[in-house]
Amino acid sequence: MSNRIDYAKAAPDGYRALGGVYATLQKGGLPKQLVDLVYLRVSQINGCAFCIDMHSRDLLKSGLAVEKLVLVPAWRDAGAVFGSRERAALAWAESVTRVAETHIPDADYHAAAAEFSDKELAELTYAIGLMNVFNRLGVAFRSQPAAVAQALSAHGMAAPLHRRHS
């Protein structure tokens, strides 16, 4: 994995604007752990190693059980491990992230709207859209996960800088 440009340095106004959306969502009404689960699932779908690494670490730091973390990609088969709001958020995240395939059917919308207020659903959808943007930046510019930097450091090799969304 190689770094390309540092998009935040190359276009700092855009990065600050995205950071503003991220900060606004942090102050919103949705639980942080729920939003982080959604960020992780979106990142898994999009294959963004940087974001998968970061959000997995954030979830573990917030106290999420490892057993739950490892089941995020298979949440539909995890039974009672995920609550009803988590299942609704993850399903909505998948439908919105895969918009070209799903076209976000009414059934998906109604299922999400049954669990979330209008404000919560709007915030959740902003979070999903924001993570899709960060994933595309991370993949396009090969942002390096912290795990890679740690592995390189352990082998005495220099690691390129990595950045958080905030």
The 10s digit of each residue's pLDDT in 6-50 is 999 999 999 999 999 999 999 999 999 999 999 999 999 999 999
Q: How far is CA 37 from CA 2, 10, 68, 140, 154, in A?
A: 27, 29, 10, 23, 29
Residue bearing the bigger pLDDT, 161 or 97? 97
Asked whether residue 160 is domain-assigned, the answer is no
Asked whether residue 110 is domain-assigned, the answer is yes
Backbone angles phi, psi at 27, to 5 degrees: -90, 0
Asked whether residue 2 is domain-assigned, the answer is no
pLDDT confidence tier of residue 3, bands split at 50, 70 and 90: low
Structural domain span for residue 31? 10-154
Average pLDDT over residues 142-155: 84
146 close to 3: Cβ distance less than 8 angstroms: no
State pLDDT tens for residues 92-115.
999 999 999 999 999 999 999 999
Asked whether residue 164 is domain-assigned, the answer is no
Average pLDDT over residues 70-90: 98
Cα angle 96-88-103, degrees, rounded to a multiple of 5: 25
Asked whether residue 1 is domain-assigned, the answer is no
Asked whether residue 18 is domain-assigned, the answer is yes
Question: What CATH number is given to the structural domain containing 97?
Answer: 1.20.1290.10
132 close to 97: Cβ distance less than 8 angstroms: yes
State pLDDT tens for residues 114-133.
999 999 999 999 999 999 99
First-to-last C-alpha distance (Å) of the chain: 23
pLDDT at residue 2, rounded to an integer: 61
Residue 150 has pLDDT above 90, yes or no: no
Q: Can you say how many angstroms the Cα of residue 56 is from the centroid of all Cα atoms in its chain?
A: 9
pLDDT at residue 165, rounded to an integer: 67
pLDDT at residue 152, rounded to an integer: 77
With a pLDDT cut of 70, the percent of the chain lying above it is 93
Number of domains in the chain: 1
Give kind and range of the element (H or E) at residue 70.
Answer: none
pLDDT confidence tier of residue 159, bands split at 50, 70 and 90: low
Which residue is associated with the tokens 């993850």?
A: 90
Among residues 137, 138, 145, which one has the least CA distance to residue 162?
A: 145
60 close to 66: Cβ distance less than 8 angstroms: yes
pLDDT at residue 6, rounded to an integer: 94
Cα angle 20-26-27, degrees, rounded to a multiple of 5: 95
Asked whether residue 26 is domain-assigned, the answer is yes
Asked whether residue 139 is domain-assigned, the answer is yes
